[in-house]
Each structure stands twice: as C-alpha cells, then as structure tokens.
Amino acid sequence: MHMAWRRSRRGREIAAALVVLACAGTVFGATAQPRALAGGGSGPDAGATGTGWVPHVHVAGGVDSTYNPAIATAPNGDLYAVWVSVNAGLSDLVSAKSSDGGMSWGTFGLVAGSTESEIWPALAVDPFSGRAFVAYYASASQEIRVALSDDGTTWTPSFVRACIGGPYAACSRPNIAVEYANGGDNRVYVTMDSQRGFSPDDSDVLVYRSDNHGSTWTLVLDDGGSSAGAHVQPAVAVQRGKDGVDRVLVVYRQGTTLQAATNGRITWSDDRGVSWSGPALWSSAAAQPPAIGAAHDGSSLLVTTGTGNGPDVEWYLDLDPTDPSSFSDGGVWSGFGYATHIAPDGAGSVDPSIGGRYHLLATAQPGLMYRWVAEDFQEIGPMEYVANSSAAFTGADRDFAITTQARGGAWWPAITWADFHEGVDQVWYTTPGARLTFDTSPPGLVLRVDGDERVAPIAATYAAGSAILADAPSPQDGNGGVRYAFMMWSDGGEPAHAVLTGTTDETILATFATAYPLTVYSTPSGRQIVLGGETETTPATFWVPAGTYSLEAPTPQGATVGTRFAFASWSDGDARAHAVTVTGATTLTVTFDVQYKLTVTSPHGTATGDGWYNAGTVAPFAVPGRVNDGGKTWDFAGWSADSTSSAPSAAIRMDGPRAVTATWREPASAPVTTNWVQLMFLVAAFLLLIFAILWWRRKKDEDAAASSPPTGTE
C-alpha cells in the first residue's frame, strides 16, 4: 500500500496535477501510452526509420568486455562517458568525450587502472569549474574513491573511505552529485551503502562531502547507524530551491532485511550536509533501486522505483521541494520497465532558472525504454524503445545511464547503456535525432555539408538540435558545355545556411537551374554590353537559363580623350538594343566604329566641321574668307595645328584625334605715289594765279592813277 499524500498548503496544486494526469487513464491510459507497448514486449530499435532516435552509436567494446557506463554533461556541452573495461581479468575504468552530441567518441582516458578491479562508476561534472568526478569501488582495497579530471582525459584518484573498518565489512553502489549554483564554492556529495559485519541485512546509507573540489572528503551522514536493518541502494540529487536554499536529497530502500527493504525513504539537508531531516517515507513498495530527479529550477522532485510486479514503474512527485517529507503517489507506468534513472533539463548549466522536463530511462528486460515528464507534471510523453529485445543487459540498473544536453535552444536526453547483443558486452549511445539527406535537382551535383564537399546525395544521422551547415556551391560546370546555377533550397534557406536537426527524417533539396553560355564579343574588344541590366566588358560570357533576355550595346562609349566607339551593328542583324532568346550555347558579336574628334577653332567668324568622324574618313572644315568682327574687317590668313592649308575651306584625314585653328589679318591701306606732272601743273597753276593777282593789282593801281588830276598844276 502506498503512502497517501498529505493534505497541506500544496495539496490543491498536487491534486490538480493528478487530476490532469488521471484524465489520460489509470496509468496515463491509451492516449499517453502507445498501445503496442502496453504490458512490455519488444519494439523498434532507436534509429529505425521513423523512431526519432539516432542509430546506436558504438562507444566502446568489441574485444574486451565493457559495461556499467555512466554519462554526464560538461559546461561547454561536451558529453563525458565512463565505463568498466575488462582487461586481462581485471576491471579498469575508462573515459571518453564527445563534442558532437554523442555522434562520435574519442579522447579516451584511463580513469582508474591498477592491479585490482574498479567497478560501479558514477559520474558528475561541476558545471562551474568543469571538473569531472567519478566515484567508484576499488575491489581489492575495498575502498570508495573518486577520480578527478579537469579535461576528461587525465584523472587523479582521491580517497573517500575504506569499506572495512569499525563496524563495517563492505560498501557498494557509490553515487555522486555536484551543486550547480554556488560557483567556485560548489560542494560534491558521494553516497553509498555500507554493510555492518557480514550480514547484508544490516547496512547503512553514508554520505560524504567534499568542500575542496574532491581533494578530501568528510562523512556528513550515517543514515541507519542507530537502527538495525537494511538501508541500501541510495541515490543522491542536489537542488537550488525556489527559496534560495541548496538541498542535498538522498533516497534509498529500507527494511528489516535486504529482502524486506521495500520502504522507500528520503533524507535531506538544507545546510549542505551539516544537519539532516527525515528519513521520511515515500513508498512502501520500493522493490527496485530508486532514482531521484530534482528540477534544476527548484520547482519539483520526482522519485521512481520498480514495483517488483513485472516491468512496472511507480512514480512519486513533490511540487514543494522546500518540504521533501511528503510525496504524492503519481501512479504506475505499466510495461515501462524495472529500475530507472532520471535526468532533469539543465545538466552542465549553472543557471538555476532552467526548467522543463524530467527524462526517464528504464530497463524493460529485454530492452530499454524512455519517456519524459514535465517538471510541473502537467504533461507526459509516450514510452519509446531505445534498445529492443536484442539488448541483453549485464548489470541491471548500473548498465544504463542518462543525462541531458542543450542543443539548438532545447534540452535533449543523452543515453548510454551496455549490452551483449553482438556477443560481448559493449557500450552504446543514442539520443533523439534524424537522418538528413541533402540532394540536388538535377541529381549528381556537388554540395558542401558541414565542410565536407561531395557529390549529392549526402546523408547522415545527426543529433536533434544540431545545426548542420549546408552550402550549395554555384555555379557548377556540367557536361555538354552547360553550367548549373543555384536557385533555391527546399527549406527556403540561403545558398549557405544552417539546418536545424529535428526528430523527423528529412530530405533537403537544392534546386539548380541549367544555365547556357551567352558569349558576347566585340570589335574592337573591351567594350561594354548590358544583358538584363548586368553590365560586362567584352569578351563576356553570361551563364543564363533558357529564356529571352534584353541585350544592349551602349553608344557611344569613351576610351581616351578624343577617341570613342559608336555602335555599328550586331552579328544577328538586330537593333542596338534588342531581345535575344537563349536555348543553348549562344555567341554574338557587336561591332563598334572607332571615332576621332576633330576640334575646329577660330577667333573670328563661325567655323564648321567640329565633331566626331569615323576613323580613316576625310573631315571637311571651313571658315569665311573675310569677316566683320568688332567693327573691323578680318581676312582669313590660313590654318594652324594639324593643318597648314591657306584656303578657308579644307579637309583632313581622321587617323586620330585632330585639331585645327584658323588665323586672321586686317586688310592693308593703298600705297601713296608722287605724280610729278600733276604736281608741276599745280605749281604752274599756282604761280599763274599769283601772277594774275599781282597783274590785276598793278593794273588797278595804274588805272586809278590815270584818272586823278596831277598834284600842283592849274
């Protein structure tokens, strides 16, 4: 009989969550649980078409037996895995790292290897410092140790406790957890069960804490030390509560004997292990090793255990982790499995506000199953096979593990397990993902996917949330003198863009247009032409799909001073600007006339002939012979510069830029000559005139004298 959930200040909230879940059926019913999976049985392997999981990725094993894997997430998103590897009859611990969502594993390191066997690895990573911790059991020394690594490759052992000494004769099943919200002050906790004497029916749950990042360890809890009976199979979690308190939570099975240890109990500390509360009962039917999940944002707790009645998992929830003494019975997942592991969203992150889902993994024996539960318990995902009946596990609950990883803005489960379906124990990995196929139309062209350039199709499986860079190089040369130009991706992306992987297999198609060469020559070469608004210099080749395009030869076009090129004709006989139809390789030639400038200048009058003339032609030029300018008369005197003609109208051959200038002069006055005959005549006339005047005066005087009586005579 399960413990009834306590009515308290959170009773209504929990009851509401249970009502929502109950609406799906007694155990989430037919709507939440695929009908084919009810009651157990085999199903499709992860990675089969349509499952939404990547095919099993081989992590380790093949010759040597490998088992008991553990997995954790580093602050940078890398995944760390640790497992037991049997070598020459001894069990060593080996690690590996993945930086691509678990799709490949490398950088192997020896966590612990000596002349004794090391088993039961449990892995955790400090999300602030990135230091990895592996708790394990050294069999010959009978010690619990923790190996430390700051790079996931090189490991240093740290002693936690000797399992023999005082009242104790053995210890087993270490688990480990690291705080995430205290920066450089994150504490590390290791739990284990320790047997008193030689009776498995008398054992305690111990908790050790490290305040210096794993260098030394202090016992902070001995739960069961004051009472007889079995206290076994502890699991530990840490949580930054909504109230800002860091809690350490330990769940385990308890009973008067190991066989009767069916009481599920929890003990917790609100002061980082200084003092402890509980233990409180959360189940009286805990028949399998319990698992605990603590929401990263402090909103809830989830505890699971196998019922012992076939592959059924019972789960318990707490929506007020400030008081872990009371869990509510969530019900039974029939057919889900036996022992479970839980991973909340937020692994590897220091952000205490991350919330979302719990991710659960359970042994179906045979097989391995997964499902998710919202951290507010309002939603639950379907049960999905991760490994089908071909998987046979070697160590029950210690042979599989789960963490979460942020990819593409969401949190995804990352799962590892060991089985011997290939005849020897090997470690495998899977995560949600899809097979992406990048192809081209027409087929057989080249694509570049994540830097790998190959002929399409290119197909691979990627972890969900991975951003895959797809690039369609353009243009690409084809056979028969054609070329292919990128047109579009089926997802609407740019020629080079990131494709976010989901959980559905998908083909992303790059469509190319078949382009033909339209080649334009010109005479002379080096002239500009315009095709469809695109200007190029000849000779020019345009790769265009079949169709009709506007083609134009701009005119005139300059070259050097005094020289230009003027459109003359197209080889197809069409106009300077016309439409050309391309159905295959096309060649056209445009002819330009070379023209030179004749510059005619004159300081007087109006000159003619200034302008552009085709090369080799004879250009006429002229000025008037005489002009009136500014009140003066000017007579043409001749030409200077590139012409020495003296005629007002002349011509010049245009074999380059030419310039002529008219020169002018004023008209000259008539010359002065001496006419001696006329001069003598004029002198004679003048002298005759003088003689006449003098004669006349004398005559007058004589006549006057003759007419007057003489003086003194009577």
Q: What is the per-residue pLDDT for 707?
A: 72
Q: What is the per-residue pLDDT for 392?
A: 58
Q: What is the per-residue pLDDT for 387?
A: 80
> Is residue 121 packed enough to be buried (19+ CB in 10 Å), middle (13-18) or exposed (0-12)?
buried
> Is residue 79 packed enough to be buried (19+ CB in 10 Å), middle (13-18) or exposed (0-12)?
buried
Task: Using alpha carbons, select from 439, 446, 445, 444 the residue that is nearest to residue 499.
Answer: 439
Distance CA 601, CA 591 (A): 32
Distance CA 249, CA 254 (A): 16
Q: What is the per-residue pLDDT for 28?
A: 27
Which of the 8 DSSP states describes residue 353? T
| Extended beta strands in 218-276, E state | 218-223, 230-240, 246-255, 263-269
| 207 neighbors 225 (Cβ within 8 angstroms) | no
| 175 neighbors 234 (Cβ within 8 angstroms) | yes
Q: What is the per-residue pLDDT for 10?
A: 31
Residues of the chain with pLDDT under 70: 1-50, 225-226, 365, 388-397, 669-674, 708-714
Q: What is the per-residue pLDDT for 671?
A: 56
Q: What is the per-residue pLDDT for 248?
A: 98
Q: What would the pLDDT profile of 70-119 be if each residue is shown by its tens digit?
A: 999 999 999 999 999 998 788 999 999 999 999 999 889 999 988 889 99
Q: What is the per-residue pLDDT for 32?
A: 27
Say whether pTM exceeds 0.95. Answer: no
List the 57-61 sheet strands across, edge first.
57-61, 426-430, 410-419, 400-407
Q: What is the per-residue pLDDT for 41?
A: 35
Q: Strand 658-665 relative to strand 586-601: parallel, antiparallel, unpaired?
A: parallel
Which of the 8 DSSP states describes residue 390? T
Tokens of 51: 């499952």
List Cβ neighbours of 242 (8 Å cut-off, separation of 6 or more): 297, 298, 299, 321, 322
Q: State the maximum Cα–Cα separation within the chain, in Å, rounded to a whole number.
A: 221
307: left (phi over 0), alpha (psi -120 to 50) or beta: alpha
Q: What is the per-residue pLDDT for 85?
A: 93
Q: What is the per-residue pLDDT for 510?
A: 98
Distance CA 248, CA 235 (A): 11
Q: What would the pLDDT profile of 355-366 be if each residue is shown by its tens digit?
A: 899 999 998 767
Distance CA 513, CA 547 (A): 12
Q: What is the per-residue pLDDT for 17?
A: 35
